[in-house]
């Protein structure tokens, strides 16, 4: 998958997920609203970053997205293994999806790392 398409898909996914938090939370709960704002910001970063040319900044942002998705995946796996999540094998689906998202961000950051080398003229 091309990096532009991946950033578009995840940008839309993060924005929709962030907006859905405001409609699904029962009352005002700071952590859920904070998560919603965080997802919207991540989605906007993905959507704004998708048309940029490969650079070190873009690779760094993609690598940070890899670390965040990997962290979410590991925490979700821990919640499933410790019994805090679902008691069925279906509970492993969400952590596995986040793991695939993390691998996608890692591959995208490594694929676009072929930057031209600039000679220092001093």
| 107 touches 70 (CB < 8 A) | no
Residue pLDDT, tens place only, 92-119 = 888 899 899 899 888 888 776 555 555 6
State the pTM of this model: 0.72
CA distance 110 to 98: 18
Contact 14, 43 (CB under 8 A): yes
**CB neighbours of 95 closer than 8 A, spacing ≥ 6?**
73, 74, 76, 77, 80
pLDDT digits 0-9 by tens, 33-54: 888 898 899 899 989 988 888 7
Identify whether the C-beta of residue 69 lies closer than 8 Å to the C-beta of residue 30: no
Per the listing, tokens 């970063």 go with 45
Q: Where do the domains of the chain lie?
A: 1-51, 53-114
């Amino acid at each position: 998958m091309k990096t532009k398409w991946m950033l578009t898909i995840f940008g839309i996914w993060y924005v929709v997920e962030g907006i859905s938090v405001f409609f699904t939370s029962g009352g005002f709960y700071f952590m859920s609203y904070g998560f919603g704002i965080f997802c919207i910001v991540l989605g906007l970063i993905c959507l704004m970053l998708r048309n940029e040319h490969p650079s070190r900044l873009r690779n760094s942002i993609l690598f940070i997205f890899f670390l965040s998705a990997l962290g979410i995946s590991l925490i979700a796996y821990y919640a499933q293994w410790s019994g805090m999540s679902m008691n069925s094998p279906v509970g492993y689906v969400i952590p596995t999806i986040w793991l695939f998202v993390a691998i996608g961000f890692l591959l995208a950051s490594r694929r676009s790392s072929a930057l031209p080398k600039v000679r220092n003229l001093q």
